[in-house]
């Protein structure tokens, strides 16, 4: 990442990540499709009702892994391999402790949280079955994301894709087994998801151990280094929390959606799945710019960091245009994949299409969030992602509880775009302030 054309580097690095992210979405998408078609619309609504809670813990795992890998990326760019290896060891220890604490807390309050957000009574039992198992298996998700982030930190975006391919196939097979052979309904798809992620995490760990000699542990690497742990937590924990804060915003919207009944909950669930699929390129570009920024900061190349951010923004604009055109042709066919058209209400499909039609028009501000939030994190900032997440949360909460009063379901659809715009407005200024500090630290003259 420290040599070559930034635009092409970010593009070629992002494409395998994009493919990998799509396969990762297969986990939740297959769950939704199988449950919707073989269990029923109520079960589909149950998965939709816990989407925010699932995003909260999975996002926590992603943010933690990406944050820990930032230090690894910076050490790799600076060629400080001893510190890089110790940072990797401390990341594993910190992941175990943090993961257990978060898993126990969320599991203990699973049902009270679902009751607090007014989950419809006809689906709350199935919703709790699913999300409780996701909480129990949080360590599997944390370690999969940590090891994948470590690989990306040193420029390998292809191996995580291969592991995801394997995991996705396993997830499909296990989903069908736990729903059709052993009829566990929502609990079954949760078990399949956790098992698939655990297998992917194990494969990733042994691949790193075998193929990357720089990461082979030496005596003393796991000796507790509180200073290193402090640095890792300073970067990783805000990244993890900011994902969880964003998820809290999703949960707030879910409260508004729950009041419309299970059909609208199912429609919203389908719509957000389609939105997530379409926005995966932004996730990939965010991972790419984080690695690019971290390595070039380690190399002390200020000008190249700026070039990377400009190139990434151009790619965001291009993908936003492509996504809008694609949505005109694929939204309805995708919506019908999730449910049995012969038995489901047309209301579910129509409202899923309405949601996608609204949010797709606001993809540029969404892309900007991924660019600046993860890019600034790659430059070592934990505060900037947190500031943007809190802004996004506040805007989404205000929109979710005011717009539906005047516009009904359509008002709920505009809650996320309102949050994206508010966060996207402040992030470029935060980035400029951070770059000014980096420029001063590197002692670059104006």
pLDDT band at 163; cut points 50, 70, 90: confident
- Work out the average pLDDT over 47-62: 79
- Work out the average pLDDT over 288-299: 86
DSSP 42-93: HHHHHHHHTHHHHHHHHHHHHHHHHHHHHHHHHHHHTT-HHHHHHHHHHHHH
Sign of CA dihedral 225, 206, 106, 261: positive
| Torsional class of 345: left (φ above 0), alpha (ψ -120 to 50), beta (otherwise) | beta
User: What is the overall mean pLDDT for the chain?
Assistant: 85
Q: pTM of the full predicted structure?
A: 0.71
d(CA 407, CA 355): 13
Number of residues assigned to the chain: 446
pLDDT band at 166; cut points 50, 70, 90: confident
* CB 422, CB 392: distance < 8 Å: yes
**pLDDT reported for residue 141:** 87
- Work out the average pLDDT over 272-282: 89
Residue 26, pLDDT above cutoff 70: no
* CB 128, CB 165: distance < 8 Å: no
**pLDDT reported for residue 323:** 95
Look at the block and give the residue holding tokens 């805000």.
238
pLDDT band at 27; cut points 50, 70, 90: low
Q: What angle do CA 44, 165, 217 make, to 5 degrees?
A: 115
Residue 182, pLDDT above cutoff 60: yes
- Residues with Cβ within 8 Å of 62's Cβ and at least 6 positions away in sequence, in order, are 145, 240, 243
pLDDT tens per residue across span 222-267 = 898 888 888 888 877 776 777 777 777 778 887 888 878 778 888 8
3-state secondary structure 326-351: HHHHHHHHHHHHCCCCCCCCHHHHHH
Alpha helices, DSSP H, located in 39-50? 41-49
- Tokens representing 269? 């669930």
- Work out the average pLDDT over 340-349: 70
Backbone angles phi and psi of 165, in degrees to 5 = -60, -45
Residue 445, pLDDT above cutoff 70: no
327 compared with 444, residue with greater pLDDT: 327
Lowest mean pLDDT, pick from 45-49, 190-194, 373-377: 45-49
* CB 20, CB 157: distance < 8 Å: yes
d(CA 242, CA 268): 23
Residue 109, pLDDT above cutoff 60: yes
Q: Environment class of residue 216 by beta-carbon count within 10 Å: exposed (0-12), middle (13-18) or buried (19+)? A: exposed
- Residues with Cβ within 8 Å of 195's Cβ and at least 6 positions away in sequence, in order, are 140, 170, 174
- Work out the average pLDDT over 391-408: 87
pLDDT band at 28; cut points 50, 70, 90: low
Residue 107, pLDDT above cutoff 50: yes
Residue 446, pLDDT above cutoff 50: no
Q: Environment class of residue 97 by beta-carbon count within 10 Å: exposed (0-12), middle (13-18) or buried (19+)? A: exposed
Mutual angle of helices 383-407 and 415-441, in 10-degree steps: 160
Residue 361, pLDDT above cutoff 90: yes
Residue 408, pLDDT above cutoff 90: no
**pLDDT reported for residue 341:** 60
Per-residue exposure over 337-366, b if at least 16 CB sit within 10 Å of its own CB, e if not: ebbeeeebeeebbebbbbbbebbbebbbbb
Distance of CA 179 to CAs 33, 35, 48, 108, 443, Å? 12, 8, 17, 26, 61
Domain boundaries, the chain: 6-441
d(CA 135, CA 150): 23
Residue 327, pLDDT above cutoff 50: yes
**pLDDT reported for residue 265:** 81
Lowest mean pLDDT, pick from 287-291, 340-344, 368-372, 440-444: 340-344
- Tokens representing 100? 């257990």
């Amino acid at each position: 990442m420290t040599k070559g054309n930034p635009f092409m580097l970010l593009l070629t690095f992002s494409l395998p990540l994009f493919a990998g992210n799509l396969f990762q979405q297969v986990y939740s998408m297959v769950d939704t499709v199988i449950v919707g078609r073989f269990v029923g619309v109520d079960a589909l609504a149950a998965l939709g009702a816990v989407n925010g809670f699932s995003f909260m813990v999975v996002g926590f795992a992603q943010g933690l892994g990406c944050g820990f890998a930032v230090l690894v990326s910076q050490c790799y760019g600076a060629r400080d391999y001893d510190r890089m290896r110790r940072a990797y060891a401390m990341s594993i220890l910190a992941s175990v402790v943090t993961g257990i604490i978060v898993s126990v807390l969320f599991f203990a309050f699973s049902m009270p949280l679902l009751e607090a957000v007014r989950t419809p009574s006809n689906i709350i039992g199935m919703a709790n079955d699913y999300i409780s198992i996701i909480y129990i298996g949080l360590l599997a998700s944390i370690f999969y994301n940590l090891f994948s982030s470590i690989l990306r930190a040193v420029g390998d975006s292809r191996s995580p894709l291969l592991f995801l391919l394997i995991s996705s196939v396993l997830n499909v097979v296990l989903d069908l087994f736990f729903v059709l052979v052993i009829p566990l309904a929502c609990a079954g798809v949760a078990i399949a998801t956790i098992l698939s992620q655990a297998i992917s995490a194990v494969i990733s760990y042994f691949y790193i151990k075998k193929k990357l000699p720089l990461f082979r542990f030496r005596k003393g690497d796991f000796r507790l280094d509180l200073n290193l742990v402090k640095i890792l937590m300073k970067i990783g924990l805000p990244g993890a929390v900011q994902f969880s804060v964003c998820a809290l915003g999703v949960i707030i919207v879910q409260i508004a959606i729950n009041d419309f009944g299970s059909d609208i909950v199912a429609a919203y669930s389908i719509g957000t799945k389609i939105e997530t699929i379409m926005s995966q390129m932004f996730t990939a570009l965010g991972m790419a710019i984080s690695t690019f920024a971290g390595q070039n900061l380690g190399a002390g190349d200020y000008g190249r960091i700026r070039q990377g951010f400009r190139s990434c923004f151009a790619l965001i604009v291009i993908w936003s245009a492509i996504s809008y055109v694609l949505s005109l042709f694929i939204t309805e066919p995708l919506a019908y994949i999730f449910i049995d058209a012969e038995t489901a209400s047309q209301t579910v499909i129509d409202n899923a299409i309405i949601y996608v039609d609204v949010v797709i028009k606001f993809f540029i501000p969404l892309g900007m969030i991924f660019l600046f939030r993860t890019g600034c994190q790659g430059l070592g900032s934990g505060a900037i992602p947190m500031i943007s997440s809190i802004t996004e949360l506040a805007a989404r909460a205000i929109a979710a509880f005011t717009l539906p009063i005047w516009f009904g379901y359509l008002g709920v659809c505009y809650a996320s775009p309102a949050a994206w715009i508010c966060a996207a407005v402040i992030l470029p200024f935060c980035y400029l302030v951070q770059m000014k500090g980096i420029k001063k630290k590197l002692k670059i003259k104006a």
